[in-house]
Amino acid sequence: MPASPHAISWFEIPANDFARAKAFYEAVLGRPIETMTMGPSTMGFLSSSPEGVGGAIVHGDGTAPSKSGTLVYLNGGDDLAVMLARVEPAGGTVAVPKTDIGSGFGFFAHFIDTEGNRVGLHSMG
């Protein structure tokens, strides 16, 4: 298998309450999240395409949500405003509203999920 052109190959978003985090991300992303137990961890897969960058919400020993750690940006689709509008009704908080990056790089936003993680969204529109 050739090396991936992506800088990220996998990411995990920590959760203290897996059911709450799963419900939050299902609401924000607008689709169901497949769940699997892997050893002592419970994982909810956020990506559904083997060609894309993979990631999951994860609950288990050694996971700790953070507002100040690494910032992961989820694909916001054609216009991240659609997903961002789902954040507060699902129990999260918008930390940075949809913002134009400039120079044709699209838009970004940040939210705080139900677990206390700071997560980004990015879209071109």
CATH code of 19's domain: 3.10.180.10
Q: Which residue has the higher pLDDT, 52 or 29?
A: 29
Res 36 pLDDT > 70: yes
- Spell out where 15-82 has E strands: 34-38, 41-45, 54-59, 73-75
User: Percentage of residues in the chain with pLDDT exceeding 90?
Assistant: 82
Q: Please give the Cα distance from 94 to 28 (Å, whole number).
A: 12
Q: What is the pTM of this model?
A: 0.89
- Spell out where 15-85 has E strands: 34-38, 41-45, 54-59, 73-75
Give the structural domain span for 110: 10-123
Mean pLDDT confidence for 12-20: 96
Q: What is the DSSP-derived secondary structure letter of residue 114?
A: T
Residue 92 pairs with which residues in a beta bridge?
A: none
In the chain, the number of structural domains is: 1
116 domain residue, yes or no: yes
3 domain residue, yes or no: no
Q: Please give the Cα distance from 92 to 39 (Å, whole number).
A: 29
- Spell out where 1-125 has E strands: 10-14, 34-38, 41-45, 54-59, 73-75, 93-100, 107-112, 118-123
4 domain residue, yes or no: no
